[in-house]
Amino acid sequence: MPDIDTQTPDALPSDGPRPGAAEPGPDIAVALRYDPRRAATPRVVASGRGAVAEQILAAAFAAGVRVRADADLAEILAAVDVDSEIPLEALAAVAEILSYVYRANGAPPPPADPGTTR
């Protein structure tokens, strides 16, 4: 399994201008939510470029959410409508990230609702 690189605000890659900072910030950010009691796959809950990407990342860091820098995956997920499930081609990468995050947080994934379609 490849190493999953979670980020802090100072460690993000330089992809575009970041207001008030010496280094450029990310060009794109996508936020996901996964609740297996409600849906079989994660959903896109926010997506944006430029200043909106900066706001998404700032909200994530403020909430203590782990962030993964992956430009290719972000491009795939940015094409998904907000409040839609992630596409099948992104599922393996997102599952790997979620698995890492649950392990890093020392918590098991939440149980799936038996009524959720898989």
76 is in which domain, residue-wise? 6-104
Q: In the prediction, which pLDDT does 52 show?
A: 95
β-pairing, 43-49 with 28-33? antiparallel
From the number of C-beta atoms within 10 Å of its C-beta (0-12, 13-18, 19+), residue 112 rates as middle
Q: Does some domain include residue 116?
A: no
> Tell me: the pLDDT tens digits for 32-83?
998 888 888 899 999 999 999 999 999 999 999 888 888 889 999 999 999 9
Q: Indicate if the pLDDT at residue 110 is higher than 90.
A: no
Q: Does some domain include residue 113?
A: no
> Tell me: the pLDDT tens digits for 11-33?
444 333 333 333 445 799 999 99
Q: In the prediction, which pLDDT does 29 show?
A: 94
The two tokens of residue 112 are: 């799936």
**CATH code of 75's domain:** 3.40.1690.10
Q: Does some domain include residue 118?
A: no
The total number of structural domains that make up the chain: 1
> Tell me: the pLDDT tens digits for 96-107?
888 888 888 787
